[in-house]
Copies of this chain bind each other. A is one copy, B any other.
Amino acid sequence: MGAKRFLSALFVFLCLLGSSAIPGKNLRARRPCKRMVFYFHDIIYNGKNSKNATAAIVGAPAWGNMTILAGQNHFGNMVVFDDPITLDNNLHSASVGRAQGFYLYDKRDIFTAWLGFSFVFNSTEHKGSINFAGADPLMNKKRDISVIGGTGDFFMTRGVATLMTDAFEGEVYFRLRVDIKLYECW
């Protein structure tokens, strides 16, 4: 093509490029650079299951204690966990890593929680960690939290993770499905 047409094409391309560099405005498509689905399994210590427990109540309000989630929708309970991560919904499947961190119930009249935790991988497929934080209004079917960083294979990553309660048994066993969508991959 002629130099003129080339220059115009160039110009359009540059304008597009330039627009994506506008301060603070990111026009990138909301298309994940990586997507992964995992399950993790939380078994809360209740005074009798110390062999299987993967989580313990470590904070309770004035009306609670450390071996059963408190009344008033567990408001004020803080739970620390180190749960196995699996690729399917079977607690007994081989784990590909550990979900480590805490959640706390923060409301009196409804079940709702706040989470800070990491996925720590150490499998042939993944090494490194993904860090999460966010509100978990667990009466909703799907809840979005933030992926706030990562290390190793997930160096500097950011994204959004969608949580679903996949199953629960009484107030001791909870299984969460996590659909991780990473939008920044280095």
Of B56, B105, B117, the residue contacting A75 (CB under 8 A) is B56
Q: State whether the Cβ of A180 lies closer than 8 Å to any Cβ in chain B.
A: no
Mark interface residues in A22-61 (1 if CB within 8 Å of B CB, else 0): 0111101111110000000000010100100100111111
The tally of residues in A whose CB lies under 8 Å from a CB in B reads: 83
Copies of this chain, tallied across the complex: 3
Complex CA distance for A129 and B80, rounded to whole angstroms: 23
B106 and A81 contacting across the interface, CB-CB below 8 Å = yes
Q: State whether the Cβ of A168 lies closer than 8 Å to any Cβ in chain B.
A: no
A114 and B118 contacting across the interface, CB-CB below 8 Å = yes
A129 and B135 contacting across the interface, CB-CB below 8 Å = yes
Complex CA distance for A24 and B33, rounded to whole angstroms: 5
Which of chain B's residues have a CB closer than 8 A to the CB of A117? 114
Which of chain B's residues have a CB closer than 8 A to the CB of A120? 135, 137
